[in-house]
């Protein structure tokens, strides 16, 4: 209302509207053109300038140098697609791909299911709702490295809490960092501990946009709670599901901090790379062995892997809740 | 759409301000860097801070006391130690290479392990020529190989030797007693004239003591045997003197690897990799009773074990006698703003008195021959290691010490091989294919 009151006298007092038609002032018409056409671009430009500097440029730069044999301490030499063919034949690279995809699957599937379940529970009328919702989000505010350091101690072979507990059930000491699958599980629990709550809150936000009358109508028709979840909540949640799945795919396939911290900040990921991810492989090649070109090529293959992963998940999630 | 000219003007100003801010953000780095360089000459009045980058576990380079002493008596130059990490090949050195190559980020004085010296010598552009600051005269302080190691291929002096490895075995006398073995260091040394005897004693120990393993892991003793064998095989290790990879041809590597395999096959290892947090904790908690100990390892062990370990540890002669593992140099990067002051600090930290006192306080054996000849070094004992006469033990191996050629890519190859040596210990590599894997991974790392 106040806006309305202000703008009306301004229009009546000044003669700008008539003046614009009367005098052909070049400056003013430029300003009005600038205001109408260019201003929106100028206002959004800071983001795009930053993106160009820190996103697009490195991307193009990486692509360019992936075509060279570029050794930090040596020379730069054109190899064309040589780095890519070498990578596709490199068993260490494929090992890293398998580790990454496996840890992504072990971490993400239970994580999203648990998050969905949590969100559904939090969406009900319960006591201390706000408190519980905040609590679910709490792990997210701790630093990744702090989480990884604590979990690494829990998973210690000789003095770790988890092996100590397992020993009461007659389980032999598990060498969490030497055995492949235990190491994947250990790292997946770190990821899940930190991200389940976050995804639950996103799901919860999505659930709250679903109109209540749908549930009321379903209840009147005699649909059970479970039926309501499958027939109403899940289909209506599809856009949120797609978002969460894409974000988790990107996060899962670029996993780095947890497995690195799990091996004392070492990007080898175990004595025979039991849990070395592709991101760790890139850092190892680029910043431990200084094969910049090779690391750049690996980074582009990771990008492709993420695209493929995201596409598969997108197609998969789109089918959830039947087609419309 | 209501077109209010006043609002338009406001928006235009906001937009210009936004762009202006972005521009300021870009240009601010220029102003700050020019400010930095202009303040450098005027900083002469305030004390110059010289940062010394070090690595290694426990008391590492042992500079604590020497730096305190310097800072108490100097007002013009203050020394600050930046101990970056325990690990050299995988952490300290790659980071340092990047900083040297980028021309920013390295300290004013940096420590370099022998494994990095081949690459360092191949890059004279990284370093300050120390002879410009009057340090060429230090030549008489050093044995020829240590002095020569600090020169680049074209003869520029860039590094001053700090310590040398030497060799001994550290052992827990209280645990030896528990196993019914002798505890006196001379008797212990007599138990293992050869490495086969060492394995036999290990089996005896393990039969009596269940909750403590005989040795820490495969890697420490692999390196001890490797340096001894390298000295018998032409003083080369992973590369020959023309920088060709000889991992599969050098019998020293195979002998050391076979020994490591026997250690783990006979279940004598606590399966801990050296210089990891578990290994440090293992030292403290008594997870193992014996450790291959070059002189600098004494400081690592006492630092990791803490006061609780004092008097429990002792030092004995190593099976097979002698060997040199490790030893470092100090160099002044070309990027330092204070090369003269940094050279002074490097000179001080490698001086006869300081190297002698570090040996007495922490155990790192001097590479400075004058410190070695010092009677106080010869008669030095180490209270942490049950007053072991470390002067006698290490001086013997120092006299026979021969430099082993390491090569430019030594650090990468060493890293790859030690992963395999660890892999046989944690059973992720089967024994029948382990040697082939070691050779393959070494070839890959040598690129």
pLDDT digits (tens, 9 = 90+) for B244-274: 999 999 999 999 999 999 999 999 999 999 9
Q: Which helix (H) or strand (E) holds B171?
A: strand B168-172
Is there a contact between A265 and B91 if contact means CB atoms under 8 Å apart? yes
B446 touches chain A (CB under 8 A): no
Cα–Cα distance, A233 to A288 (Å, whole number): 49
pLDDT digits (tens, 9 = 90+) for B52-96: 999 988 888 999 999 999 999 999 999 999 999 988 988 899 999
B221 touches chain A (CB under 8 A): no
Q: Where are the domains of chain B?
A: 48-164+327-378, 168-323+392-446
How much is the pLDDT for A26?
Answer: 67
Cα–Cα distance, A63 to A76 (Å, whole number): 15
Give the mean pLDDT of B425-433: 95
Residue B353 CA neighbour count, 13 Å, CB half: 7
Cα–Cα distance, B156 to B140 (Å, whole number): 17
Is there a contact between B4 and A46 if contact means CB atoms under 8 Å apart? no
B97 pLDDT more than 90: yes
CB B193 within 8 A of CB B319: yes
Alpha carbon B42 to chain centroid, angstroms? 37
CATH dotted code for B168-323+392-446: 3.40.190.10
3-state secondary structure of A169: coil
B289 to B72, B309, B434: CA distances (angstroms): 40, 12, 27
Beta bridge partners, A30, equal: none
B91 touches chain A (CB under 8 A): yes
Is there a contact between A159 and B412 if contact means CB atoms under 8 Å apart? no
Chain A residues lying within 8 Å of B101, measured CB to CB: 72-73
Mean pLDDT, chain B, rounded, equals 88
Reported confidence tier of residue A322, pLDDT bands at 50, 70, 90: low
Best probe of the A interface among B21, B90, B100, by most A CBs < 10 A, is B90
Is there a contact between A272 and B271 if contact means CB atoms under 8 Å apart? no
A25 pLDDT more than 80: no
CB B170 within 8 A of CB B385: yes
Q: Which helix (H) or strand (E) holds A228?
A: helix A225-228
Q: What's the CA angle centered on A253, arms A312 and A310, to 5 degrees?
A: 20
Cα–Cα distance, A55 to A58 (Å, whole number): 6
Is there a contact between B8 and A31 if contact means CB atoms under 8 Å apart? yes
Is there a contact between A266 and B87 if contact means CB atoms under 8 Å apart? yes
Chain A residues lying within 8 Å of B3, measured CB to CB: 32, 35-36
Closest among B217, B211, B255, B213 to B233, alpha carbons compared: B255
Q: Where are the domains of chain A?
A: 1-49, 82-318
Assign residue B326 a region (left: φ > 0; alpha: ψ between -120 and 50; beta: otherwise): left
Q: Which CATH number fits domain A82-318: 1.10.3720.10, 3.40.50.2300, 3.20.20.70, 1.10.150.120?
A: 1.10.3720.10
Cα–Cα distance, B34 to B38 (Å, whole number): 6
Q: Please give the CATH architecture assigned to the domain spanning B48-164+327-378.
A: 3-Layer(aba) Sandwich (3.40)
ipTM of the complex: 0.79
CB A251 within 8 A of CB A323: no
DSSP assignment of B300-364 = HHHHHH-GGGTTTEEEEPPTT-------EEEE-BTT-S-HHHHHHHHHHHTSHHHHHHHHHHT-P
B124 pLDDT more than 80: yes
Hey, how many other C-beta atoms are within 10 angstroms of the C-beta on A12? 8
């Amino acid at each position: 209302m106040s806006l309305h009151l202000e703008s009306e006298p301004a229009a009546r007092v000044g003669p700008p509207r008539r003046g614009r038609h009367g005098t052909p002032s070049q400056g003013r018409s430029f300003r009005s053109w600038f205001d109408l056409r260019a201003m929106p671009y100028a206002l959004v430009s800071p983001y795009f300038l930053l993106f160009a500097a820190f996103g697009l440029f490195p991307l193009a730069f990486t692509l360019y140098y992936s075509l060279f044999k570029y050794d930090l301490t040596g020379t730069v030499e054109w190899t064309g697609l040589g780095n890519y063919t070498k990578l596709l034949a490199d068993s260490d690279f494929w090992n890293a791909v398998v580790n990454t995809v496996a840890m992504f699957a072990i971490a993400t599937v239970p994580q999203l299911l648990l998050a969905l379940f949590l969100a559904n529970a939090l969406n009900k009328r319960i006591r201390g709702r706000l408190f519980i919702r905040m609590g679910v989000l709490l792990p997210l505010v701790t630093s990744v490295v702090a989480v990884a350091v604590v979990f690494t101690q829990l998973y210690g072979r000789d003095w770790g809490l988890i092996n100590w507990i397992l020993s009461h059930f007659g389980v032999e000491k598990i060498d969490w960092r030497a055995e492949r699958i235990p190491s994947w599980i250990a790292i997946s629990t770190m990821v899940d501990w930190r991200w389940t709550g976050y995804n639950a809150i996103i799901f919860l936000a999505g659930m709250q946009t679903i109109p209540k009358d749908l549930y009321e109508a379903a209840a009147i028709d005699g649909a059970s709670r479970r039926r309501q979840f499958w027939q109403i909540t899940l289909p209506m949640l599809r856009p949120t599901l797609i978002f969460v799945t894409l974000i988790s795919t990107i996060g899962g396939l670029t996993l780095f901090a947890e497995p690195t911290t799990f091996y004392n900040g070492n990007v080898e990921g175990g004595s025979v790379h039991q849990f070395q991810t592709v991101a760790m492989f890139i850092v190892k090649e680029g910043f431990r062995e200084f094969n910049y070109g090779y690391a750049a090529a690996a980074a582009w293959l990771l990008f492709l892997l993420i695209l493929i992963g995201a596409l598969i998940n997108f197609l998969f999630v789109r089918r959830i809740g039947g087609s419309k | 759409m209501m077109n209010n000219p006043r609002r338009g003007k406001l928006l235009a100003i906001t937009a210009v301000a936004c762009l202006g801010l972005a521009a300021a953000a870009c240009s601010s780095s220029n102003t700050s860097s020019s400010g930095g360089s202009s303040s450098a000459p005027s900083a002469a009045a305030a004390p110059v801070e010289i940062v010394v980058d070090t690595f290694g576990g426990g008391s590492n380079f042992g500079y604590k006391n020497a730096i305190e002493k310097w800072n108490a008596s100097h007002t013009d130059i203050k020394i600050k130690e930046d101990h970056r990490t325990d690990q050299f090949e995988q952490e300290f050195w790659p980071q340092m290479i990047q900083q040297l190559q980028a021309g920013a980020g390295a300290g004013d004085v940096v420590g370099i392990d022998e494994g990095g010296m081949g690459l360092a010598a191949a890059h004279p552009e990284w370093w300050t020529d120390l002879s410009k600051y009057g340090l060429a005269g230090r030549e008489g302080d050093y044995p020829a190989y240590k002095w020569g190691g600090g020169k680049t291929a074209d003869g520029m002096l860039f590094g001053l030797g700090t310590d040398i490895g030497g060799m001994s075995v550290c052992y827990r006398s209280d645990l030896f007693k528990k196993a019914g073995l002798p505890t006196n260091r001379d008797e212990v040394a007599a138990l293992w004239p050869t490495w086969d005897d060492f394995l036999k004693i290990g089996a005896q120990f393990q039969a009596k003591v269940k909750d403590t393993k005989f040795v820490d892991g495969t890697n420490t003793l692999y390196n001890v045997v490797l340096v001894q064998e390298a000295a018998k095989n032409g003083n080369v290790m992973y590369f020959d003197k023309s920088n060709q990879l000889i991992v599969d041809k050098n019998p020293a590597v195979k002998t050391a690897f076979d020994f490591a395999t026997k250690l783990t096959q006979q279940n004598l290892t606590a399966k801990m990799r050296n210089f990891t947090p578990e290994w440090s904790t293992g030292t403290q908690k008594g997870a193992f009773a014996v450790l291959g100990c070059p002189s600098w390892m004494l400081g690592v062990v006492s630092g990791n074990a803490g006061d609780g370990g004092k008097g429990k540890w002792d030092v004995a002669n190593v099976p097979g006698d002698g060997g040199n593992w490790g030893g470092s140099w100090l160099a002044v990067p070309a990027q330092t703003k204070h090369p003269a002051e940094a050279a002074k600090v490097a000179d001080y930290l490698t001086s006869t008195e300081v190297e002698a006192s570090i040996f007495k306080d922490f155990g790192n054996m001097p590479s400075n021959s004058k410190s070695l000849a010092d009677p106080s070094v010869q008669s030095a004992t180490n209270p942490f290691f049950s007053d072991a006469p470390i002067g006698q033990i290490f001086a013997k191996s120092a006299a026979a010490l021969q430099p082993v050629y390491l090569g430019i890519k030594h650090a990468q190859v060493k890293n790859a091989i030690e992963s395999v040596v660890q892999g046989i210990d944690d059973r992720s590599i089967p024994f029948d294919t382990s040697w082939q894997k070691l050779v393959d991974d070494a070839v890959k790392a040598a690129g």
